[in-house]
Structure 1
C-alpha cells in the first residue's frame, strides 16, 4: 500500500479515535459545572472519569481477542455504535448515578475504538513503517485532547446549549466515522472463527479492579485505612485477581493470554504502561480542576490554558514517529519520554494558586513531550515482538494496563485530592479565624462554585485547591520514575520491515 492508500484506509479510524478520546476530555473542564447542577461531590468527580476508564480497561483485552477471531472492521463499527447509544443516554442523565452508569457503557465503546485502531494499523503496515503512522495517531489523540476541553468549556459557557451537549456533540462524528470506515477500510482477509468469549475472565478482572478502586475512593473518609472494611476489600480484590489468573490459565480463548508475558518486552512494556497511565490520566483529569477551582477560570479558559501540554504531546508524538520510521530505533524515545514525564510531574507538583502561568506552561510542555514520546511507542515495541496472529491480543494488553493504571491512579489521586483540599481548607479557615455560613457545604465534599462563595472565603478555597492539586502531581511523579527504570530493561529489537517476518518465538527471560 502506498502512503496515500494507507492514509485513506486510516481516515475512518482516525475520526473514530478523535471521537473516543473526545468522550473523556470533553467533560474534564465541564465536570465542575455538571456536578454542581447534579449535586455531586469530589468522589463523583473522580468516578465520572474512572467509570469510563474502568470499563475501557475491562473491555480492551476482550476487543483485542475478538479481533484475532472475527472481522476487525465489523468490530470497530460495533464499538462506534455502542459509543453513539451511550452518549445519547449520558446526555439524558438526571443524577450522578445515571451519569456514571452511562459512562461505563461509553468506556466500553471508546475502549474498542482505541484498541482496534492500533490493531488495524498493525494489520496493514509493517513495524518499520508503523512509527510514522503511530505519530498520526498521537497527533489526533492530541487534537482531541486539545479540542475536548475547549469544546466542553464553550458548551458549558453557552447558555442555550447546556452541559448535556458535551455528550451529544460526539454523536455526529461517530456516525461519520462508521460511514467512512465502511467505504475506506479494506483489511487483508483473515480466517474467521467462531469466537469463544472468556466471560469469566472479563467478570473477574472487572470485579477485582472495581473493588480495589472503591476501597481507594472511600478509605480514609468512610472508614480508616487500617480497618476491617479495608482488609476485606483489599483481600477480596487480590483474591479475585488470583482467580482471574487461574481462570486465564484454563480458558480456551483467554482475554489476556498469559503466555504473552513470557516475552520480556511484553511484560516490561505492560508494567511501564500502567505507570505511565497514572501520569497521563492524572494530568488530563486534574489540570482542568486546578485552573477552574484554584485560578477561578471559566471552563473555556481552562481548556486554553492547558494547550502547552497538549501541543508538546502532539509535536513529540509526530516527530518521534517519523524519526523511528527513518532510523528504525525506538528505545531512546521511551527512556527520554519517561524521564521527561517524571520531571514534568515533579515540576507541576510545585504548583500553587499563585504560580505564574509562564512556569506552569513550561511544566505542562515538558509533561506533554514525555507523554508523546512514551504512550504510542510502548505499543509499537510490543507489536514488533509478537507474531502477527497475536497482534490483537498483545496490543490490547498494553492498552489494558495503561487504562487500568490510569483508572486506579485517578481514583487514588482523586481520593488524595479530596483529603488534602479538606485539610488545607480547614487550616486556612482556622488561620483566618473565619467560620463561613456555607462552611457545612464546603466540608461536605461538594465541588464549590467560587462565584457564589463569600468574597473573604474565595482565596482560602483557591489556595486549598492549588496546594491540593500540586500534592497530587508530586505523588504521581515517582510512578513515572519507576516507569523510566522499567523501560531501561526493555531490549531493543530492530523494527521489522515486512509484515509477516517471524517474531521471537522463544520466550525471553523476564528481567528481575
Structure 2
C-alpha cells in the first residue's frame, strides 16, 4: 500500500486503508534489502555486475554502497523489461484486506480439513461403497495430486498473478468435493479425491503467497501465525467432524460441507483482491520441468505409500519406483538449469537461509506426521479408548501448536527478531519426542497429554516462522515460487514421515508378535484393529497391546537426531531485517 504506515495494520482495521494519490518512494533501507535479495534472480547481465560487486564487498559500508547502485540498476532494468517502475504508483488498493484474509483462512481450512476429515469415516465409506483393497488410495490420491501441484501453482502465481489462479484452484477443489459426495463407487471416490488434490495443492501455497503480496514481512508474522492456527484447528476438528457427519448426516456430507466454505473464499478473493498487474511479455511455461517433477514426485509418493503395504520394501516394484524417482529427479534438475522460468529455480538453493529452513521444515513435518498418523490408533488399541476419545487426545498437541504459532507471529511483528524461534522449535520438539518415547501401557492419559502439549509447543514455534523467513529472503517477483518450494519439501517430509514410521512400526510389531505368539502363523496386520483386539481374551489382548506399545514408542527417538541436525543448521541462520514495505517493482502480484 502506498503512502500509508503499515506498522499498525491489523485484520480488523485494514479494510479502512485507502491508497494514497501520491506515488510511493521506497525507503532506501527497504530498497537496499530488496536489491540484495534480488541480485541472483535478475537478467544475466545485471546479475553478473551485481554478483561481482557484492562478492567483492568486504565491509558493511561497501555492501550498502553496492546495494544502492544495484537498486538503481534494478529500477532501470524493470522499466526496460515492461515491469512497473518504482517511480510509478502501484495498482489501486481496495478496502478489503480483512475480507481477503478471511477468504485465505477459509481456503486453508478446507484444504487442511480435507486431509484429516476422512480418517474416522473411511470404515463407514468402505462399508457403503466396497473396495477395501483400494481404501488407501482415498488418502494417497489427494496427497499425490496436491504435492505435484504445489510448485506449479507457486510459479504460475508469480508469472501471472494469484487472483484468478486462486479462483481456479478453489473451483477445481469444489468440483472434486462434489464428485466425492456423489461417488457411486470407490473408484469414483478416488477420482474425486484426485481432483480435490489438484485444486487443494494450490490453496495453502497461494494463500501464503497472497499475504506476501499485500502485507510487508515485518507485519506478516502475525498473519502467518493466524494461518498456522488454522492448521492446528483443522487437524483436531477434522476427525471429530468426520465422526459427527458419519453418525448424524451420512459420510457424503463430509465433502458437501467443503463447497459453501470454498464458495465464500472465492467471493472474498473475487470481490476484494484486485486484478494483477499485467506483464507486457508472455513468459514461457516450464512444461518440461512440470513433467519431470510430476514423474519424480509420483514415483516417490507411490513408493513410500506402497512399500510395506501392497508390496514388500524389498521388491522389484518398489525398487523400480525408486529408480524412476532418481532418474526423473536428475532430469528435473537438468531441465531447471536451462529453463527460462523454472518451476523451482536452482538458485534458490544457493541461499543459506532457504536451505536451512527447508531442510529443518522437512524434518519437523516428518516427525509430526509420523506421530499424528499412528497415535490415534495407539490410544485405541493400547489404552482402549473409543475413536472419539482417541481423537480428543490430539487436542493438547494442537493447543501447543496454536499457542506458539500465533504467539511467535505477533512477537516477530513486534520485535522484528525471529532467529531464536526455529532454534527453540527444534530443541523443544526434540524434548517432546524424547518424552513420548517414555510412554508405557500404564502411562496416565494426563501425563501423555502433557507430553503431547510439549511436542505441539515446539512444532508451533517454527511452523509458520520458517515460511516467513523464506519469503523475506527473496525479491517479491519470486516469493510465490520460494514459498511453494519450501512447502513442497515439507509435504515430501510429511509423506516420508508417515510411510517410514509405518514401515518401521509394522516390521517391529510383526517380529515382536511372532516372538510372543509363536503358535500364531502368518499374522495379518490388517486384522489388528481396535475392535478385534478388544474382543480377544485378556491374556492375548495384553500381549498385543504390550507389543504394539513396544513397537511404536521407541520409534519416536529416531526423530531426535534429525531435529538435532535441524538445531545445528538453524544456528547458521542469518537474521536479516524484516522488510517494512512490499515492493511490487516488476512483479505481476495482486493487491487489495
**TM-score between the two structures when normalised by the length of structure 2:** 0.76
User: Compared with structure 1, are the counterparts of its residues 173 and 68 closer, same or farther at alpha carbon in structure 2 (3 Å cutoff)?
Assistant: same
- CA RMSD in angstroms comes to 2.9
Q: Is the 8 A contact 2:424 2:461 kept in 1?
A: yes
Q: 1:488: Cα distance to partner?
A: 1.9
111, 128, 140: which one aligns with 2:230: 140
Alignment partner of 1:177 is 2:265: yes
Deviations 1:298-319 (A, max 9, x none): 3322221210011100100111
Partner-residue secondary structure (3-state), 2:494 = helix
Alignment partner of 1:277 is 2:365: yes
Partner-residue secondary structure (3-state), 1:296 = coil
Q: Is the 8 A contact 1:12 1:185 kept in 2?
A: no
Q: 1:492: Cα distance to partner?
A: 1.2
Q: Is the 8 A contact 2:145 2:194 kept in 1?
A: yes
Residue in 2 that maps onto 1:410: 498
Greater Cα shift, 224-233 or 460-469: 224-233
Greater Cα shift, 450-459 or 143-152: 450-459
Alignment partner of 1:490 is 2:573: yes
Q: State the distance in 1 between where 2:348 and 2:310 align.
A: 40
Residue in 2 that maps onto 1:207: 295
Q: 1:129: Cα distance to partner?
A: 0.6
Q: State the distance in 2 between where 1:472 and 1:34 align.
A: 31
Alignment partner of 1:120 is 2:203: no
Q: State the distance in 1 between where 2:313 and 2:276 align.
A: 53
Alignment partner of 1:316 is 2:404: yes
Residue in 2 that maps onto 1:241: 329
Q: State the distance in 2 between where 1:87 and 1:292 align.
A: 30
Greater Cα shift, 167-176 or 446-455: 446-455
Residue in 1 that maps onto 2:437: 349
330, 334, 339: which one aligns with 2:427: 339
Greater Cα shift, 191-200 or 143-152: 191-200
> After the TM superposition, which residues 144-159 of structure 1 pair with which residues of structure 2 at under 5 Å, given as runs?
144-156=234-246, 158=247
Greater Cα shift, 311-320 or 97-106: 97-106
Partner-residue secondary structure (3-state), 2:385 = coil
Q: 1:215: Cα distance to partner?
A: 3.4
> After the TM superposition, which residues 110-509 of structure 1 pair with which residues of structure 2 at under 5 Å, given as runs?
110-156=200-246, 158=247, 160-186=248-274, 189=277, 191=279, 194=282, 196-219=284-307, 225=313, 231-430=319-518, 443=524, 445-446=526-527, 448=529, 450=531, 454-456=535-537, 457-500=540-583
Residue in 2 that maps onto 1:505: none
Q: Is the 8 A contact 2:161 2:276 kept in 1?
A: no
105, 108, 111: which one aligns with 1:17: 108
Q: 1:162: Cα distance to partner?
A: 3.3
Query: Larger relative CO (CA 8 A, sep 6+): 1 or 2?
Result: 1
Q: Is the 8 A contact 1:316 1:373 kept in 2?
A: yes
Length, aligned pairs only: 491
Q: Is the 8 A contact 1:450 1:458 kept in 2?
A: no
Q: 1:36: Cα distance to partner?
A: 6.7
Q: Is the 8 A contact 1:70 1:193 kept in 2?
A: no
Partner-residue secondary structure (3-state), 1:384 = helix
**TM-score between the two structures when normalised by the length of structure 1:** 0.87
Partner-residue secondary structure (3-state), 1:256 = coil
Q: 1:345: Cα distance to partner?
A: 2.2
User: Compared with structure 1, are the counterparts of its residues 289 and 29 closer, same or farther at alpha carbon in structure 2 (3 Å cutoff)?
Assistant: farther
The structure whose Rg is larger is 2
Q: Is the 8 A contact 1:66 1:195 kept in 2?
A: no
Residue in 2 that maps onto 1:52: 142
> After the TM superposition, which residues 56-75 of structure 1 pair with which residues of structure 2 at under 5 Å, given as runs?
56-75=146-165
98, 103, 109: which one aligns with 2:193: 103
Q: Is the 8 A contact 1:29 1:302 kept in 2?
A: no
Q: 1:135: Cα distance to partner?
A: 1.2
160, 166, 181: which one aligns with 1:76: 166
Q: Is the 8 A contact 2:140 2:305 kept in 1?
A: no
Q: State the distance in 1 between where 2:173 and 2:469 align.
A: 29
